[in-house]
Amino acid sequence: MLNPITLCIRQWLWFLICLPGWIGFQFALRQPRRAQNRVLRRLIRRNRDTVFGRRHGFASIRSPSDFARQVPLAEYEDFADAIAAVGQGEPFALAAGNPLLLEPTSGSTGAPKLIPVTAAVRREFAAAVQPWIAWLYLAHPSLFLGRQYWAVSPNTPIPAADIPTAVPVGFADDADYLGFAGRWLSRGILAVPGAIRQVADPEWFARLTLLFLLKEKNLRLISVWHPSFLTVLLDSLPRHLPAILAALRTGNLPGDAALPPDLHAQLGRQFQKDLRRFDEIEALNLLSHPESVGRLWPRLRVISCWEGPRSEPALGKIRAHFPQSVIQGKGLMATEGCVTVPTGCGRLRPCAIRSHYLEFLNAGTGEVHPVWDLRQGCDYSVILTTGAGLWRYRLHDQVRVSGWCHATPCLEFVCKDNAVSDLVGEKLDERHAAEALAVAEADTGARPDFAMLAPDESSARCACGYVLLLEFPETAPDAAGLARRWADVVEGELCRNYHYSHARRLGQLGAVRSVLLRNGLQAYRHARESGGARSGTLKIPALAPAAPGQSAWWLSACRTEVAQEVFHYQI
């Protein structure tokens, strides 16, 4: 445990390491075309002698237009064979230098994929992360005086058949994203040790994470991806609190923790009893007064999390718990690369123009545009080129130009542009589903804690179709009536889709059915984690496309079904 002076020194060192990246990014924002051309030239020069570079004539590329002409747009499947080959020990065909590891994706839709992580792409991530870190310290100087929590995700087992033999899968620690210096400095700055990610059991992962968090009163920053990660963690506090208080009183980790002996010993060395903290937490009487959870960390200044569509219910809970804290929306960052950076432009998030080469597909016209050719208010689909061998890679994140930071466009996430459900040819997509839910909320004036459309082929009582999964606050009057009204509005909105309306007229699809859930968010997270997603990075989509074995994940969370009459599921 670091004393306050050593802690402050480490914070300053981390800030000083990141400061040049912030300064360079500020200059680049004024000349995005020059910055992007420099990134592209570097990528072409370093990779011209690779198998991929020779095949696509990198030696003759002189401009972005040459690059666009000679390299086609690509999906993950276009690179999958080369990534699988390097996992079996063959030379990497896509980029210079073999991958250091393969990182599983964890997006809202689709099966997990293994994304190569090279030394070059680590530097590209640093070019986006360092300006963000420096800006956090500049905007909130009180961060120098306390500790931080950066979300740690528990390991997700990968089927043995999918594990390459020659390349590690997954970072050993989430702090590896911070680079070598950040990883070393974070050892004393972070309140929760990174070794906790080795705890595979979700209940014990939550209990130990909360134990270290509650022990640290001087917590200044919490960084998670989707805000629901934090709300679910805090919702589990009542059932873990007795064990946490006992550990603080005795200095011993819970004795029945299902941990390997070496991990138990490692975590035990980083935990000591704290009778003063025990008295402070016990005085809050959290079991009787759960609204007092914000008083656990009175100096908490910043909560950094995803602030995009579909996150407002969780954000509302966080604001209610921590009114003294600033909610700082993250940039758009995927396992494959960084798209935007939150730094110094208010709530706007400029493109990460010093990291990867970025292009944008206008779905309406089919034209591909560089960063400097984007237009205010227009929607585009993101295309990434990175040092990890993802060349003109379709990220399938649809974004909208929301403004400008100096001369660089700023983007906001709209939806995944490939989230399409197609039970009988209706081709219902994520964006239309999100719009239907937004209309239902506006028409009814009722905001649920959880709302999602899910395709359903499991019911024997009616034709296949869609269920509207809803969870309203306990205080909501007549939840069943609200659910019916939501279903009626959503059904009307979906019928604006010609293919959906046609299928309804033919009787191929049943009408939207409303289902009230208990613990809907937890059920969704469990289903996604079972499919290989990492809990700390999940986003909540408006539409859950059918997946083998997961098309009715919501059954485990059903309370009542609301249709012509009310039924109770027998689970």
Q: Is 346 a member of any domain?
A: no
Do 414 and 427 share a domain, yes or no? no
Considering its fold, how many domains does the chain have in total? 3
Residue 74, domain extent: 1-182+351-418
Helix, strand and coil percent figures for the chain, each rounded to 5: 45, 20, 40
User: What b-and-e string marks burial along 362-388, b requiring 16 or more CB atoms within 10 Å of the CB?
Assistant: beeeeebbbbbebeeeebbbbbbbbbb
Tell me which residue of 453, 351, 464 sits closest to 402, measured CA to CA. 351
Tokens of 153: 């995700």
Do 153 and 281 share a domain, yes or no? no
Q: Is 340 a member of any domain?
A: no
Global pTM value: 0.80
- Give yes or no for a contact between 508 and 552, defined as CB atoms under 8 angstroms apart: no
- Measure the CA–CA gap between 293 and 495, rounded to whole angstroms: 44
Do 428 and 374 share a domain, yes or no? no
* Phi, psi dihedral angles at 475 (to 5 degrees): -85, -5
Do 370 and 321 share a domain, yes or no? no
Tokens of 463: 């034709």
Do 42 and 174 share a domain, yes or no? yes
Longest dimension (CA), the chain: 72
Give the model's pLDDT for residue 525. 77
- Give yes or no for a contact between 42 and 220, defined as CB atoms under 8 angstroms apart: no
- Measure the CA–CA gap between 319 and 336, rounded to whole angstroms: 30
Do 20 and 47 share a domain, yes or no? yes
Which segments of the chain have a pLDDT < 50? 107-111, 172, 459-461, 547-550, 563-571
Pick the last residue of a domain from 306, 335, 364: 335
Do 284 and 371 share a domain, yes or no? no
Do 319 and 236 share a domain, yes or no? yes
Do 163 and 67 share a domain, yes or no? yes
410's CB contacts (< 8 A; 6+ apart) are 340, 345, 348, 349, 350, 351, 401, 402, 403, 404
Do 506 and 446 share a domain, yes or no? yes
DSSP code per residue over 429-441: EHHHHHHHHHHHH
- Give yes or no for a contact between 325 and 300, defined as CB atoms under 8 angstroms apart: yes
Q: Is 432 a member of any domain?
A: yes
Do 469 and 385 share a domain, yes or no? no
Q: Is 257 a member of any domain?
A: yes
Pick the last residue of a domain from 398, 418, 438: 418
- Measure the CA–CA gap between 516 and 483, rounded to whole angstroms: 7
Q: Is 554 a member of any domain?
A: yes
Do 44 and 178 share a domain, yes or no? yes
Could you tell me the strand order of the sheet in which 326-329 lies? Answer: 147-150, 219-223, 302-305, 326-329
- Measure the CA–CA gap between 182 and 15, rounded to whole angstroms: 10
Give the model's pLDDT for residue 408. 97
Q: Is 188 a member of any domain?
A: no
Pick the last residue of a domain from 311, 335, 359: 335
Q: Which residue has the tokens 């984690």?
A: 529
| E strand segments, 339-495 | 357-361, 368-370, 379-385, 393-405, 408-416, 420-421, 428-429, 450-456, 465-471
Q: Is 202 a member of any domain?
A: yes
Residue type present at position 438 = A
DSSP assigned state of 557: G
Q: Is 187 a member of any domain?
A: no
